[in-house]
């Protein structure tokens, strides 16, 4: 059951990542920040690979596995770009619950493509998680950009959730025959290429010189936290079922909500509090089944 501990570790570091990232993108463009974070994560992940000697396994990776690792990395890159853009223009307590809705889609995709069973108790837990997420999303949060200047954060958050669910499924398939740390490092390389391509395509490379040192520090710290979360997450995926690992990872919302209250002073409404309780309860049930 070591995979369960890794899944919990993934949730903790993912929660810390959101707070550190929010602190680092107050003035810095989210796409630029994502690219910088990826450099930190890349160094972190490959360092682990060489420390444990997993680099020798690169030549043994077959074509199919490599393709899924690349696709998983591309999905992660898309999810990140959407997520941190949403964080930059929206409240963290609103963005994170929507991002965590990827849990439900991941479970359904795991059922279809990975043939992981879905018993009645698990189905009930999925319903509870879904209700919890809906309660945490207020009607005013789904306004379009034409109705509200910052309404587009909702669309970015939904995009983040969609690509995050693809990441879990593609990642599960891709690491089936690869050492988890090596798989993470390969995926990170793909994300790095994708993130910096976006920076240069959008012409935002000029903003690199104007990043405040304090924000750069937070961005780098968020990269380290993300690297730790990834290493835990994909180690858990390698040994545990995706339909259970993904929900546990989403418990990072508890860490995020707690830190956002003390750091940013963001509070949950009573309705959102009930939703958080349902989301947490359903996730715990999923982990225990």
Q: Which residue has the tokens 């837990």?
A: 125
pLDDT at 183: 84
Do 151 and 125 form a contact (C-beta atoms < 8 A)?
no
Q: How many domains does the chain have?
A: 1
Query: Which two three-digit tokens encode residue 283?
Result: 């996730």
pLDDT at 145: 46
Do 280 and 254 form a contact (C-beta atoms < 8 A)?
yes
Per-residue pLDDT of the chain (289 residues; tens, 9 = 90+): 788 899 889 989 988 988 898 899 888 999 999 999 999 999 988 988 998 888 888 888 888 888 888 998 999 899 989 988 888 888 777 787 788 777 778 777 777 777 776 678 878 888 888 888 788 776 555 554 444 445 588 889 889 989 988 887 887 776 667 887 888 889 889 999 999 999 999 999 999 988 999 999 999 999 999 888 878 887 888 788 877 787 788 778 788 888 888 777 877 788 888 988 888 888 777 767 6
Structural domain boundaries enclosing 125? 2-288
pTM (predicted TM-score): 0.74
pLDDT at 289: 67
Cβ neighbours of residue 268 closer than 8 Å, sequence gap 6 or more = 93, 136, 257, 276
Do 49 and 182 form a contact (C-beta atoms < 8 A)?
yes
* Distance separating alpha carbons of residues 270 and 65, to the nearest angstrom: 46
Do 214 and 25 form a contact (C-beta atoms < 8 A)?
no
Do 230 and 41 form a contact (C-beta atoms < 8 A)?
yes
pLDDT at 175: 66
pLDDT at 181: 81
* Distance separating alpha carbons of residues 241 and 276, to the nearest angstrom: 24
* Distance separating alpha carbons of residues 133 and 114, to the nearest angstrom: 25
Do 270 and 135 form a contact (C-beta atoms < 8 A)?
no
* Distance separating alpha carbons of residues 77 and 187, to the nearest angstrom: 9
pLDDT at 44: 85
Do 161 and 80 form a contact (C-beta atoms < 8 A)?
no
* Distance separating alpha carbons of residues 251 and 228, to the nearest angstrom: 16
Do 100 and 161 form a contact (C-beta atoms < 8 A)?
yes
CA-closest candidate to residue 19, choices 243, 256, 274: 256
* Distance separating alpha carbons of residues 247 and 286, to the nearest angstrom: 7
């Amino acid at each position: 059951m070591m995979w369960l501990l890794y899944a919990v570790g993934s949730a903790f570091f993912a929660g810390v990542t959101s707070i550190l990232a929010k602190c680092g993108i107050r003035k810095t463009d989210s796409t630029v920040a994502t690219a910088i974070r990826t450099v930190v994560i890349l160094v972190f992940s490959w360092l682990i690979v060489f420390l444990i000697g997993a680099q020798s396994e690169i030549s043994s990776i077959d074509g199919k596995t490599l393709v899924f690792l690349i696709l998983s990395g591309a999905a992660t890159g898309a999810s990140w770009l959407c997520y941190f853009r949403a964080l930059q223009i929206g409240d963290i307590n609103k963005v994170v619950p929507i991002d965590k809705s990827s849990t439900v889609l991941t479970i359904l995709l795991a059922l279809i493509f990975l043939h992981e069973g879905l018993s009645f108790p698990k189905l009930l837990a999925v319903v509870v998680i879904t209700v919890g997420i809906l309660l945490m999303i207020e009607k005013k949060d789904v306004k379009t950009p034409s109705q509200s200047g910052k309404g587009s954060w909702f669309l970015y958050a939904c995009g983040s959730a969609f690509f995050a669910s693809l990441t879990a499924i593609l990642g599960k398939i891709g690491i089936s025959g690869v050492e988890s740390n090596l798989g993470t490092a390969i995926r990170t390389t793909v994300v790095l290429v994708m993130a910096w391509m976006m920076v240069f395509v959008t012409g935002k490379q000029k903003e690199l010189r104007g990043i405040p040192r304090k924000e750069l520090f937070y961005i780098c710290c968020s990269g380290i936290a993300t690297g730790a979360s990834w290493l835990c997450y994909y180690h858990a995926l390698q040994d545990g079922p995706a339909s259970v690992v993904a929900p546990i990872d989403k418990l990072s919302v508890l860490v995020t909500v707690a830190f956002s209250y003390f750091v940013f002073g963001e509070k949950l409404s009573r309705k959102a509090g009930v939703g958080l309780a349902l989301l947490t309860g359903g996730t715990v049930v999923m982990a225990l089944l």
